[in-house]
């Protein structure tokens, strides 16, 4: 199973919309007769690739798969049926498929007389497809809220200026994290004030070939000259103020699994109040402003005892690349209740 997990996480495999899956086929004597991994939507699934590699040696073999074999016909046929037709004797799965459309493969295999097991290294398998698993289990994308702030919690100065709170190194680091998501989301206020392009760029400031969906949330119209409306990536305008409604739409209508949220303080407060912030990434600069726009708006908290608590998951020191720039910290946190 460890080998299957490494195959599933092979470099270059797209993070979505399909899960990353690996498969290893073992002969009765324990030798490997075939292996494969899913390379992206429309390509053969891991089980099919492994079966093709094994040929006739698949008969009587044990299939070790990181995710339950699919049980439906999409762009490709059901892997459960392919395993049955190949004469596999046993299937060991790490994670059950949370997608109601594709799940049920183990039952189909068992009904065909194939021995099945599941749960081996399941936590590793879930971590491999963290956002995909979360989205299918919760009916909405996983949300990472990213913001940049001074030591006193300001995201902009009193005159509205915010470029740049963070260093060049921190901004490049942000693009690395953006590339791990399939959706960039801001509010209409951010588009109006900051005019972001919301694309993912490399260290030389060149756009990457694959771009997340750009989403603007809010009821106001967008000016036609806003950069988020250019042809650098697809953009969707969700005319709602309800974070839960917006996220359900992104999951159901656009097959989105991981939202990188860079909205302003008002929308950030709305997401927090709705309980749909699953991870926080904060870039902290050693600056003091004393006044200006805060990173998050009103949360209705009047006592320190009611403060929203976060667990620190990771801390990264981002050293400056240019003279005169300051060291930044990148803090990754999660809501305490999700422990």
Q: Tell me which residues are annotated as active site.
A: 47
181 is in an annotated binding site: no
76 is in an annotated binding site: no
For the CA atoms of the chain, what is the radius of gyration? 23
Class of residue 216 by CB neighbours under 10 A (exposed 0-12, middle 13-18, buried 19+): buried
CA 173, CA 183: separation in Å to the nearest integer?
17
73 is in an annotated binding site: no
178 is in an annotated binding site: yes
198 is in an annotated binding site: yes
Peptide bond into 205 cis (omega under 30): no
145 is in an annotated binding site: no
How large is the greatest C-alpha to C-alpha distance in the chain, in angstroms?
72
Measured CA distances, 213 to 17, 175, 263 (Å)? 12, 14, 15
- 233 with 198: CB under 8 angstroms? yes
CA 119, CA 67: separation in Å to the nearest integer?
10
Measured CA distances, 195 to 32, 187, 190 (Å)? 54, 11, 7
167 is in an annotated binding site: no
CA 212, CA 131: separation in Å to the nearest integer?
14
267 is in an annotated binding site: yes
268 is in an annotated binding site: yes
162 is in an annotated binding site: yes
Name the token pair of 198: 């919301």
45 is in an annotated binding site: yes
183 is in an annotated binding site: no
- Annotated binding-site residues for NADP(+) read 148, 164, 190, 194, 264-270
- Annotated binding-site residues for substrate read 162, 178, 198, 201, 262
- Annotated binding-site residues read 45, 70, 79, 148, 162, 164, 178, 190, 194, 198, 201, 262, 264-270
């Amino acid at each position: 199973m460890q080998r299957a997990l490494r195959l599933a996480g092979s470099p270059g495999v797209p993070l979505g919309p399909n899960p990353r899956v690996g498969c290893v086929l073992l002969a009765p004597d324990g030798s490997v007769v075939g292996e494969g991994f899913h390379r992206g939507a429309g390509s053969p699934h891991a089980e099919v690739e492994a079966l093709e590699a094994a040929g006739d040696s698949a008969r009587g073999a044990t299939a070790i798969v990181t995710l339950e074999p699919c049980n439906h016909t999409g762009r490709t046929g059901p892997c459960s049926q392919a395993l049955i037709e190949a004469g596999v004797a046993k299937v060991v799965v790490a994670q059950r498929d949370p997608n109601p459309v594709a799940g049920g493969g183990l039952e189909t295999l068992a009904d065909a007389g194939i021995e099945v097991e599941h749960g081996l290294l399941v936590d590793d398998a879930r971590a491999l497809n963290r956002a995909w698993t979360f989205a299918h289990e919760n009916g909405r994308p996983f949300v990472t809220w990213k913001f940049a702030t001074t030591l006193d919690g300001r995201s902009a100065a009193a005159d509205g200026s915010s470029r740049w709170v963070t260093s060049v190194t921190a901004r490049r680091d942000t693009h690395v994290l953006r590339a791990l998501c399939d959706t960039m989301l801001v509010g209409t206020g951010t588009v109006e004030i900051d005019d972001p392009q919301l694309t993912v760029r490399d260290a030389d400031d060149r756009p990457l070939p694959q771009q997340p969906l750009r989403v603007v949330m809010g009821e106001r119209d967008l000016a036609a000259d806003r950069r988020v409306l250019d042809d650098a990536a697809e953009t969707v305008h969700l005319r709602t103020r309800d974070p839960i409604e917006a996220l359900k739409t992104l999951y159901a209508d656009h097959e989105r699994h991981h939202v990188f949220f860079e909205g302003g303080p008002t929308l950030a407060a709305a997401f927090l109040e709705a309980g749909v912030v699953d991870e926080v990434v904060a870039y902290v600069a050693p600056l003091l402003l004393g006044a200006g726009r805060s990173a998050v708006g009103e949360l209705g908290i009047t006592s320190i005892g009611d403060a929203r608590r976060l667990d620190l998951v990771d801390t990264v020191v981002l050293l400056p690349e240019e003279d005169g720039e300051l060291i930044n910290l990148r803090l990754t946190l999660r809501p305490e209740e999700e422990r």
